[in-house]
Amino acid sequence: MAADAAISKPGKRRKKGFPLAPYLFVLPNFLIFSVFIIIPTIMGFIYSFNEYDGLNPMEFIGFENYVNVFTNEEFWSALGKTALYAVIVVPLIYCLSLAVAVLLVQEIRFKGLFRAVFYWPTMISFIIVGLTWKWIFGDLGVLNYILTLFGADTIPFLSSPFYANLSVIVATVWSRLGFFMVIFVAGLQAIPGDYYEAAHLDGASKLRSFWSITLPLLKPTSLLVIMISLIDAFKSYPLMFALTGGGPGRETTFIVQYIYEVGFMKQELGVASAMSVVLFVIISLFTVLQFRLAKGGAV
């Protein structure tokens, strides 16, 4: 009995002790998140209530920066272009990534190779993606060179407003499709095969099974894909900057690039911070609305 009691005492001490090891593993990520996300967010919120150019001391001006934001036509123009871009890009990414995922969960040859090929563009930085597509779509780029070989006229991919926006959309879908494909593949593989077998025995076609089984059971995954792709669309900047530079004119100057120009080129950090807070609120409202419509992602 005494030996059993002696053995049990260390166990009791361990249970009472503070579990420090898990927090030590999390600490590096928490420090990085704090330094690059939490602290800049708090500082930006403080800047939004001050007149600040990054050099001279801050001067508290209350809500004046927010008044400037809501009366700034260029801000709303850039936000409108970003919203239109998101309305086009998000459904395209959703439909194409889902279609590719459905094909690549089937038993086909070289399935792993195809997955790697589609996923590969997501590992490239947006700056490199933009420069690559600029080399393709440029006035003296690869695509126009091929057109001239067949005697066709060149297309102003980066100097025409319509084609410039089209080029940005194509480059965005190409660079992000593989990432969301992987998410859909994981969601599709989590659906029990028994449902499809039962539907097949009942005489349901593949299309019927997709609409009645796959899509409803992918509801949480779909919500995640829509949320991430929407946030990506509203904060997109490096790809557009490298591909079009915001041109022609200001046709592809989206909201994040405009905030950057106000903050670091015009040195109006207070106004730019207020714009960032407004953008944060808009994205948060979209996210809450999506959760409401999807009832929290529940099936």
pLDDT tens by residue, 150-194: 988 899 999 999 999 999 999 999 999 999 999 999 999 999 888
Q: Which amino acid makes up residue 299?
A: V
In-domain check, residue 30: no
- Residue-number span of the structural domain to which 244 is assigned: 72-297
Q: What is the pLDDT of residue 140?
A: 86
Residue 5 has pLDDT above 60, yes or no: no
Q: How far apart are CA 155 and CA 152, in angstroms?
A: 9
Map residue 60 onto helix, strand or coil. strand
Share of the chain above pLDDT 90, in %: 65
Give the model confidence (pLDDT) of 201-228 as tens digits: 888 888 888 898 899 999 989 999 999 9
Confidence at 297, pLDDT banded by 50, 70, 90: very low
- Give domain status of residue 151, yes or no: yes
pLDDT at 2 over 70: no
Q: Is residue 133 included in any domain, yes or no?
A: yes
Q: Binning pLDDT at 50, 70 and 90, where does residue 89 land? A: very high
Maximum Cα–Cα distance for the chain, whole Å?
Answer: 97
**How far is it, in rounded angstroms, from Cα 126 to Cα 256?**
14
Q: Report yes or no on 32 lying in a domain.
A: no
What confidence score (pLDDT) does residue 174 get?
A: 96
pLDDT band at 107 (very low <50, low <70, confident <90, very high): confident
Residue 230, classified by CB atoms within 10 Å of its CB into exposed (0-12), middle (13-18) or buried (19+), is buried
| Chain centroid, CA 46 distance in Å | 26
Q: Which amino acid is at 187?
A: G
Classify residue 137: in a domain, yes or no. yes
In tens, the pLDDT along 228-253 reads: 999 999 989 999 999 999 989 899 99
Summarize pLDDT for 116-146 with one digit per residue, the tens.
999 999 999 999 999 999 999 988 889 999 9
CATH number of residue 124's parent domain: 1.10.3720.10
Beta strands in the chain (DSSP E): 50-51, 59-60
Average of per-residue pLDDT across 97-113: 89
Is 293 a domain residue? yes
Residue 208 neighbours by CB distance under 10 Å: 12
Please count the structural domains in the chain. 1
User: Is the residue at 57 inside a domain?
Assistant: no
66, 191, 245 from 297: Cα distances, Å: 34, 16, 37
Domain annotation covers residue 225: yes
| CA dihedral angle for residue 238, residue 260, residue 57, residue 64, rounded to 10 degrees | -150
Task: Quote the pTM value.
Answer: 0.86
Closest CA to 223 of 172, 162, 294, 288: 294
